[in-house]
Amino acid sequence: MEKKKQLLLVNYYRGFAALSVLLYHMSNEINNRFHFHYFFTLFKPFSFGVDFFFVLSGFILYYIHKNDIGERKQLERFVKKRFVRIFPVYWILLSLALITFILTKTNISNTIYFSPLFILRSYLLFPVAAPILTPAWTLSYEVFFYALFAFFIFFKKTKLLLVLLLIYLALLLPVNFLVPENIIETHMYGGWIQVFIRYFIAEFALGVIASYCFFHLKKFNVKLYLSAIIVSVFFLFLAWMVEIFVPSFITQYRFFTFAIPASFLLFASARFEQEEHVMKNNLLNFFGNASYSIYLMQAFLLLIFFKIIYLISHKVPTQFLLPIGILGIIFCVGVAGVFHLVVEKPLLRKLNR
C-alpha cells in the first residue's frame, strides 16, 4: 500500500487547531473562576479550532484513503485504522478522567452523575449532553463521518452515493439556520439525530472537497497559492476580530466565516508545499503529531492545574492571571506532549503493525 507523504503545513495546522482550542478553554476557565472577562472576550473566537479540526479531518481522510474508494477489500483496513486512531487513546484518557473524578470527587465536565449507562455510552462515543472529557463530543461527529466515508469504500456505485451525499449536505445547512440547536434534546437517540443534522458534517465534507481539488485541479503558479494562503489567513483573522465585537453573528454563520476560509487555506497550503520546499520545524511538527493528545487532555489537565493553583491560593490578583494562563498552557502542552511520546505514539505504532 502506497504511503502518502506527510504534508508539513497541514500537520502544523493540526497543532495550531489544538492550541487554539486550548487557549479558548484556558480563557474560559479564568473567566469562570476569577471573573476576569478580558481574556475570554479576546480568545473566545479561538473555539473555531474545532471547526478547523473538522475540515482538517475531512482533508486528511481523503488524502490518505482516496485510492480506497470503491475498493471493498480495503474496508476492513480502513475501519481498523480509524478505530485505532480514535478509540485506544480515548479510552485510556477517559479511564484516567473517571479515576480522577472518583478520587477527588470533582467532575471535569458539567455532568451531574455517572450512571453505568452513561459511562458505557461515553466509552462507545455515543453523544451525551456533557461528556466526561469535554472535547470528546467532537469524536461522535468524527465517527459518524468515518461511517459515511466507509460507504464510499464499500459500494461500487460511488457516483450515486455522491449525489445522495450532496442532497444531504444541501439540506443540512438550511436546517441549521431554521432549527434552533436547543430544540433537539441530547439523549441516546436525539443525540445521534443532532449529530446527523448539525453543520459539522458539512465541514468534514469541505475538507474532502479541498483534498479532492488538491489532487484533481490543474496546477497554477505557486505565487497564486501563496496569495490564497495570505487571503485565507486574512479572512480567518477578520472573522476573529468580528466575533470579538459581534459574537452572535459569527457564531451563527461560522461554517461560512471559519470553515470555508480554512478549506481554502488547506488546499492552497498543500499545493504550495507540492511546488515549493517547506523547511521542517521540529517543534511545530511535534505539536501537530501530539495534537490529538493535546486536544483530548486539555480539560482534564486544566482541572488538575487549577486545583494546584487553589492549593497555593484561592484569591489571585488580576496582575497574576496572565502569567497563570501562560503557565497553564505550558503545563497542558507539556503533560500532553509527554503522554504522546510515552503512550500514544508507541501504542499507535504497535497497533498499526
In SS3 terms, the chain reads as CCCCCCCHHHHHHHHHHHHHHHHHHHHHHHHHHHCCHHHHHHHHHHHHHHHHHHHHHHHHHHHHHHHHCCCHHHHHHHHHHHHHHHHHHHHHHHHHHHHHHHHHCCCCCCCCCCCHHHHHHHHCCCCCCCCCCHHHHHHHHHHHHHHHHHHHHHCCCHHHHHHHHHHHHHHHHHHHHHCCHHHCCCCHHHHHHHHHHCCHHHHHHHHHHHHHHHHHCCCCCHHHHHHHHHHHHHHHHHHHHHHHHCHHHHHHCHHHHHHHHHHHHHHHHHHHHHHCCCCCCHHHHHHHHCHHHHHHHHHHHHHHHHHHHHHHCCCCCHHHHHHHHHHHHHHHHHHHHHHHHHHHHHHHHHHCC
What pTM was computed for the model?
0.90
pLDDT value at residue 220: 86
pLDDT digits (tens, 9 = 90+) for 86-106: 999 999 999 988 887 777 666
Q: What is the C-alpha to C-alpha distance for residues 44 and 29, in angstroms, rounded to an integer?
A: 11
Q: What is the C-alpha to C-alpha distance for residues 31 and 215, in angstroms, rounded to an integer?
A: 44
Is 302 within a domain? yes
Q: What is the number of structural domains in the chain? A: 1
Cell triple for residue 91?
479510552
pLDDT value at residue 24: 92
pLDDT digits (tens, 9 = 90+) for 2-48: 566 789 999 999 999 999 999 999 999 888 888 888 777 888 888 88
Is 295 within a domain? yes
pLDDT value at residue 76: 92
Is 289 within a domain? yes
Is 3 within a domain? no
pLDDT value at residue 248: 64
pLDDT value at residue 251: 62
Is 238 within a domain? yes
- The letter for the amino acid at 310 is Y
Residue 78: CB partners within 8 Å, gap ≥ 6? 65, 68, 149, 150, 153
pLDDT value at residue 249: 61
Is 161 within a domain? yes
Is 1 within a domain? no
Task: Extract the residue ranges of the chain whose pLDDT is less than 70.
Answer: 1-4, 104-114, 158, 177-190, 247-252
173-204: b or e for each residue (b if 16 or more CB lie within 10 Å)? eeebeeeeeeebebeeeebeebbebbbbbbbb
pLDDT value at residue 3: 61
End-to-end CA distance of the chain: give it in Å, rounded: 13
Is 2 within a domain? no
pLDDT value at residue 84: 95
For cell 502518502, name the residue: 4
For cell 475501519, name the residue: 79
Contact 96, 296 (CB under 8 A): no
- The letter for the amino acid at 10 is V
Which residues constitute the domain of residue 230? 8-351
For cell 436546517, name the residue: 175
